[in-house]
Amino acid sequence: MPEGPRIAFLKEQLDPFVGQTLVEAQGTAKNIPFALLPEQTLIEIKTFGKELLLCFPDFALRIHLMFFGKYAINAELNRELQLGLMFETGVVNFYACDCRYIPEPLDQLYDWTTDVLHPAFDQDKALEQLQRKPDQLICDAIQDQTILAGVGNGIKNEVLFRTQLHPLSTVGAIPEIKLKNLIRTCVAFSHEYLSWKQEGANTNNWLVYQRNTCPRDLVPLRKEKLGKTKRSCYYCEMCQELYSSAF
C-alpha cells in the first residue's frame, strides 16, 4: 500500500495538469459521475495521508491506491481501468484503486493536523491521541490514520527501529519522552522518504524494512505478522526495547 510520501510524490508528478481542463473521463469506478467531468478545470491537487485529492471548482475526486493500486501518466497498463482522466496535454490512468466523488468542501471532511507531511500537523495532538489508547500495541497505533495519516507499514518499521521501540510495546507503557520522539521521527522520516522518491533512490535506504540483518547489532532481524492488522514487522530483539505490562 503506497504511503504518504509516495502519494505526495505522485501529486508532484501531476502538478503540471493543474489549471488544465478535462477533455475526457472514463473507467469502471462505480462512484464517479463520469458524465459530469468533461470541461471541468483542475484547480488544485491535495494529499491527505495515503489519499490523492484532485480538486475541481465544485467537487473533488479522491483516489486511494489501496494495496495493489497502480497509476500511469501518459501511458496505459494492461489492467482494468478504474479511472482515466484526459487533460489538454496528457492523461493519467488509475488501476485497482478506490475512487470517490466528493461534493463537500474538503476542510469539512479532513483534519489536516493529523497528516504527518502537512504543514499544519500537530505533534501535541498526535501525542494526546496516542495516549488515549494505552492498551494498543505501538505497531498498530502508529498506523492509525486518524492519528498519523500517511504512516504505513514501511514507515512503521523504520521509525520503530530508529526510536529503538519493540513493535509489541503497548502505548501506555512507553515513556512520554519516547512517544514524543516517535512522533517527531514519523514526521522527519516521512519527509526523508519523500526526498528519496524525488531522487529515485527510496529502495536503497531502508534500514530494516524487508532486510535480514540489524545494522546496529549485526544479528538476524525478526520478521513476524504482529498486532491486529497482522502487517509484517521487521525488528531487532537486541536493540528495540519492549515496554509492556503484559510481559
Residue-wise pLDDT for 23-59, tens only, equals 999 999 998 999 999 999 999 999 999 999 999 999 9
Hey, what's the torsion of the CAs at 196, 197, 201, 206, to 10 degrees? 60
User: Does domain 4-108 correspond to CATH entry 3.20.190.10?
Assistant: yes
CATH topology of domain 112-235: Helicase, Ruva Protein; domain 3 (1.10.8)
pLDDT band at 202; cut points 50, 70, 90: low
| Cα gap 152→233, rounded to integer Å | 12
Give exposure, 73-97, as e/b (b: 16+ Cβ within 10 Å): eeeeeeeebbbbbbbeeebbbbbbb
**C-alpha grid cell, residue 172:** 501506555
pTM of the model: 0.93
Nearest to 37 by CA among 52, 51, 50, 20: 20
CA 124 from centre of chain:
20
Whole-number mean pLDDT of the chain?
95
